[in-house]
Amino acid sequence: MIDVNKVRADFPFFGATDLAYLDNSATSQNPKCVMDAEWQFYVDSNANPFRGIYELSERATSAYEHGRETVKDFINAKSTKEIVFTRNASESLNLIAYSFAPMVLEEGDEILVSILEHHSNMLPWRMAAEKAGATVKYLEVDLTGEVTAEMVAEALTPKTKIFAITQVSNIMGRENDIKTFAKLCHDNGTYIVCDGAQSVPHMPVDVQDLGVDFLAFSGHKMLAPMGIGVLYGKEEHFAAMPPFLTGGEMISTVSYDGMTLSELPHKFEAGTVNASGSVALEAAIKYIQSIGFEDIQTRETMLCKRMLDGIRDIPHVTVLGSDKPEEHHGIITFKIDGVHPHDISAIFADNNVAVRAGHHCAQPLHICLGIPSTTRASVMFYNTEEEVDRFLDILSQIRGAMGYGD
């Protein structure tokens, strides 16, 4: 069981403010051990990795690659050749769309995309389809946000070459059955690309068990700094793909009119790498592992239940997604009758509570549901019951503050 007071003592943020931070699906806070790891890299290992034969550069290389090894073990990839460091999940997904998609797409083919997707797992596929003369098809949902195996099986056709879907929706919080979807895809000759930005921080993710071809996620949503992301891909895919960017370190040799690419995964990591980010991400992973996903999920489900139970007692508030707290994975997205989400967010901000308002980079989903925009509160294991109660108290007053009598 998590001792939340002890946990919060690990986070300098909570000692510096009384803000109730309920925007964790956008960015999580950082424990001191992560900050210390990044700082320590600059103290004793600050040199370009791979490019010097002196000890300082060798330490930087070792630290960077040790972080990759930790990521590999964390998601159970087969080897470090399947782990590419990027800036974030968005860059990871773009890498696939720019480098892998042209290899498998032909004119008349289809890319299937769930309407749940963040723009980062939607817009790259539109561009890839346009370049190839292919078509993007959307798998739509209702207010529950559920995607079933039957829906996927019905949507797949012999022309479907890629299926892009999130493991956990950043709006609904609902987990998709990626393992089943992957089998359906592979039986159909379709590759599956999974956005793990909202899942990897909150639950065990085993890429070999899931069977996905690619998985993308970001460090800044899982206690690490901004600017470090991960792309997992099956080694055979990476081996066949051309580099996304060119420059230093992604090549072995360069001549007047040719070049030889570096070994995997380095051919996808052009330029000076984010070595301190790798070190910090490793520290974040170890911190998450020290707490344990079982306890993390138990606490986040409890906080979601408390929030959902409280919302049910407040008239004119509608929650998107399941009515089961365990199916929200820390994400509660809602609308209030007659009140714009920006006004809702501003009232929360005036009361020192951070929530998110808008379409949350999922505008097509909002169009599909007929809802222009929503408000999202997202918890993490370090949030408290008192913060949830504070949220509910303010929520209950919003319509009154906007001039409604009821």
Burial class of residue 13 in the structure, from the number of CB atoms within 10 Å of its CB (0-12 exposed, 13-18 middle, 19+ buried)? middle
Of the CA atoms within 13 Å of residue 236, those in its CB half-sphere come to 3
| Residue reference for tokens 């509660």 | 332
| Residue reference for tokens 């998601």 | 75
Beta strand segments in 256-366, E: 259-261, 317-319, 331-336, 353-354, 356-358
Question: Is there a contact between 16 and 372 (Cβ–Cβ < 8 Å)?
Answer: no
Q: Minimal CA–CA distance to 203: which of 346, 75, 105, 90?
A: 75
Q: How many CB atoms lie within 10 A of CB 56?
A: 13
Q: Minimal CA–CA distance to 113: which of 103, 105, 104, 123?
A: 123
Q: Which two tokens stand for residue 235?
A: 């080694």
Residues in the chain: 406
Angle, vertex CA 357, rays to CA 351 and CA 362, nearest 5: 160
Question: Is there a contact between 270 and 243 (Cβ–Cβ < 8 Å)?
Answer: yes
Q: Is 33 known to be catalytic?
A: no
Q: Which two tokens stand for residue 228?
A: 């470090």
- Give whole-number Cα distances, 212 to 195, 206, 231, 328, 357, in Å: 10, 10, 12, 22, 32
Q: How far apart are CA 270 and CA 337, in angstroms?
A: 49
Strands 214-218 and 191-195, how do they pair? parallel
Q: How far apart are CA 177 and CA 166, in angstroms?
A: 10
Of the CA atoms within 13 Å of residue 120, those in its CB half-sphere come to 22
Q: Minimal CA–CA distance to 395: which of 352, 332, 357, 344?
A: 344
Q: Which one from 185, 194, 304, 361 is the annotated catalytic residue?
A: 361
DSSP state of 81: G
Give catalytic residue positions: 361
